[in-house]
């Protein structure tokens, strides 16, 4: 069963706008990761946030984690057409934080 | 070593045939994972190895599916007596258990079409 659920399922924005995707999960975690997947390709790791962290930045990406609400958000600022992809959150499912369950993803379309 | 390699990238087969996919992980990675992904869905966990030991296998994995990692390096995923419902992208990923991040490095996937 899937631990994480992304919201919205699909998002369409104009280039230059910010995109926010949310992930909710059910059980306690050690860490949460976000991945990106271009159509027909493998997944690429974007960022990891640990359960004792509340916010993390990487370039145009900002991830927040609220363990009390069991939720995370991914913000992409100043979006570009090249950001068009599916975005997945992955939560760990073992005590070592090394095996992950993926949500169904958010399909982001950035229009030029 | 440029990353995780999967072969073949595409496989079309008739129902009832057996297929085998191969994954070559990043050489220093001791963990290897297989996921299955259908259109519009996230990757679904199938199984994973630490070195040559298969540590966990999804209950969703029927007995027609078998995975091996005989020398703790490359892995194969075999599907016997394929069914149309097996049509999916099969993704392999590797990671280092010693890593602080637990980041998974994915291959490009092997797309299976069962006619």
Per residue in B44-80, pLDDT (tens digit) is 999 999 999 998 888 878 899 999 999 889 999 999 9
The DSSP string of A23-41 is EEESS--SEEEEEEE-TTS
Residue A60 neighbours by CB distance under 10 Å: 14
- Nearest in space to A23 (alpha carbons), one of A109, A107, A103, A99: A103
Cα separation of B9 and A99, whole Å? 24
Residue of chain A with shortest Cα separation from B10:
A40
What is the reported pLDDT for B33?
A: 94
The pLDDT tens digits for A19-73 are 999 999 988 888 899 999 999 899 999 999 999 999 999 999 999 999 999 999 9
Q: Can you tell me the mean pLDDT for B39-47?
A: 92
Q: Which residues contact B98 (CB under 8 A, 6 or more apart)?
A: B30
Confidence of residue B6 (pLDDT cuts 50, 70, 90): very high
Residue of chain B with shortest Cα separation from A41:
B108
Report whether B87 contacts B113 (CB < 8 A): yes
Across the interface, whether the CB atoms of A103 and B42 are under 8 A apart is answered yes
Whether residue A1 is predicted with pLDDT greater than 60 in this model: the reply is no
For testing contact with chain B, the best of A31, A100, A105 (most B CBs within 10 A): A100
The pLDDT tens digits for B8-37 are 999 999 999 999 999 999 998 999 999 999
Among residues of chain A, what percentage have pLDDT more than 70? 91
Confidence of residue A100 (pLDDT cuts 50, 70, 90): confident
């Amino acid at each position: 069963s899937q631990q994480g659920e992304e919201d919205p399922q699909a998002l369409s924005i104009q280039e230059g706008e910010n995109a926010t995707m949310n992930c909710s999960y059910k059980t306690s975690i050690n860490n949460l990761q976000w991945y990106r997947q271009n159509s027909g390709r493998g997944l690429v790791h974007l960022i990891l946030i640990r359960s004792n962290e509340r916010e993390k930045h990487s370039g145009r990406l900002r991830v927040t984690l609220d363990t009390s609400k069991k939720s995370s958000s991914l913000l992409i600022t100043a979006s570009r057409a090249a950001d068009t992809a599916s975005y997945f959150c992955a939560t760990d499912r073992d005590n070592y934080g090394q095996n992950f369950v993926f949500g169904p993803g958010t399909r982001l379309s950035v229009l030029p | 070593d440029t990353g995780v390699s999967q072969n073949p990238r595409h496989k079309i087969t008739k129902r009832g045939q057996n297929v085998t996919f191969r994954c070559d992980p990043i050489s220093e990675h001791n963990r290897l994972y297989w996921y299955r992904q259908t259109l519009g869905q996230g990757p679904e966990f199938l199984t994973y190895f630490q070195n040559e030991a298969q540590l966990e296998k999804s209950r969703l994995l029927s007995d027609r599916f078998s995975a091996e990692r005989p020398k703790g390096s490359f892995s194969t995923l075999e599907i016997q007596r394929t069914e149309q419902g097996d049509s999916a992208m099969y993704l392999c990923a590797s990671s280092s258990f010693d890593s602080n991040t637990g980041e998974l490095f994915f291959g490009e996937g092997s797309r299976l079409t069962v006619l």
